[in-house]
Structure 1
Amino acid sequence: MKTLIISDSHGLTEEVQVIKNRHQKDVDAMIHCGDSELQKESPVMADFIGVRGNCDYDTGYPNAIVEEIDGTRFLVTHGHLYNIKMTLMNLSYKAEEENASIICFGHSHHAGSELIDGRLYINPGSIRLPRGREEKTYVIVEVTDKDAAVTFYDHEGAEVKDLNRAYNLG
């Protein structure tokens, strides 16, 4: 199972559409972790599991969503309501409460992934305003049995190899 994860596109439409077109036939689901600044009904956001970020004014987006994708339980949120710029502790409590295996969030614009207490946390970074590095990034996570491969890409579709990681969710 492959899932595209993007966040913090802050009003970009063409770039989000290009990434969507590039991968939609190869992935089972697409997630936007908020701050799209687009209306939920926008054609660009069609097919995305999307949540509301602190810069999203469309109240049609939920603050968080739990989605089962091919047997893997995802928690998707922007992160601002969980104070993720300071700690992942609040988000980890929510992940435990929801029994989520993979937690997708944005807000900080810092790309990265890590395994904490058997749960995989993924921040795809930002395709508009990255922080901590130059590349504008997004992610594809591939889950096979209990293994997860997190592959980061820049906005042009090239792998950002130093961010890529493999995890055992077992």
Structure 2
Amino acid sequence: MADNQRGVSEMKILIVSDSHGLEDELHTLSQRHQDADIMIHCGDSELASHHPVLTGYKVVAGNCDVPSAGFPNNLVIDLDDHKIFVTHGHLYNVKMTEMNLLYKAEEAGAKIVCFGHTHLAGSGQANGCVWINPGSIRLPRGRREATYAIATWEKRVQTLTVNFYDVSGRAVEALTASYKL
């Protein structure tokens, strides 16, 4: 993928999950982060696929989404010379382990995996794959803040930096991490 409109070798990815019917918050995030090159919703939006607040988001189905919403269970998104695997996580037993999900990402050729379902914000790296769970913007677990993530891919240095924010836009510094890919 060529350099984006900012003229730099950097891409920003907005990652949100488990909004469970919230509309205003999804709209606010897309407006706040208009500079995002990709917007991902990792499922449990509980909205119809044609809902206006999901415009621009790449959305997967969560366990609370009705099948008639028409969201796919998984997506693979190309990011320069890497792929992003997106799923909700319930089909991979992520409440017990990330390993099933990491194996599926490896099968898909992805170096980055985004998922939700647990409502626990965090990121990590295993077997050369970075996993990102943005938490929940409605019902957080393990933290007080309802969270989402911004992942910044710096192609020149092959680094993915993951920053977390609460819904008001304040950084959650304790969760920030950078990974080499």
Q: Distance in 2 between matches of 1:81 and 1:122?
A: 16
Runs of 4+ in 1 over 3 A off after TM superposition: none
Name the residue aligned to 1:44.
53
Map of 1:7-156 to 2, 5 A cutoff?
Answer: 7-24=17-34, 26-57=35-66, 58-145=68-155, 146-156=158-168
Q: Which has the larger radius of gyration?
A: 2
| Alpha-carbon shift at residue 76 of structure 1 (Å) | 0.3
Q: Secondary structure at the match of 1:30?
A: strand
Does the aligned pair in 2 maintain the 1:29–1:69 contact within 8 Å? no
What does the per-residue CA deviation read over 1:85-112, in whole Å, with 9 as the maximum and x for residues that have no partner? 0011111111110010110000000000
| Alpha-carbon shift at residue 163 of structure 1 (Å) | 0.4
Of all paired residues, the percent bearing the same amino acid is: 55
**Which blocks of at least 5 consecutive residues in structure 2 are unaligned?**
1-10
For the structure 1 residues 59 and 39, does the alpha-carbon distance in structure 2 shift closer, same or farther, using more than 3 Å as the test? closer
Does the aligned pair in 1 maintain the 2:154–2:160 contact within 8 Å? yes
| Alpha-carbon shift at residue 153 of structure 1 (Å) | 0.5
Q: Distance in 1 between matches of 2:65 and 2:24?
A: 18
Q: Secondary structure at the match of 1:110?
A: coil
What does the per-residue CA deviation read over 1:26-53, in whole Å, with 9 as the maximum and x for residues that have no partner? 1111000000000000000110000000
Q: Distance in 2 between matches of 1:7 and 1:99?
A: 23
| Alpha-carbon shift at residue 59 of structure 1 (Å) | 4.0
Q: Size of the alignment, in residue pairs? A: 168
Does the aligned pair in 2 maintain the 1:9–1:128 contact within 8 Å? yes
For the structure 1 residues 13 and 59, does the alpha-carbon distance in structure 2 shift closer, same or farther, using more than 3 Å as the test? closer
Q: Secondary structure at the match of 1:166?
A: strand
Name the residue aligned to 2:6.
none
TM-score after normalising by structure 2:
0.91
Q: Secondary structure at the match of 1:5?
A: strand
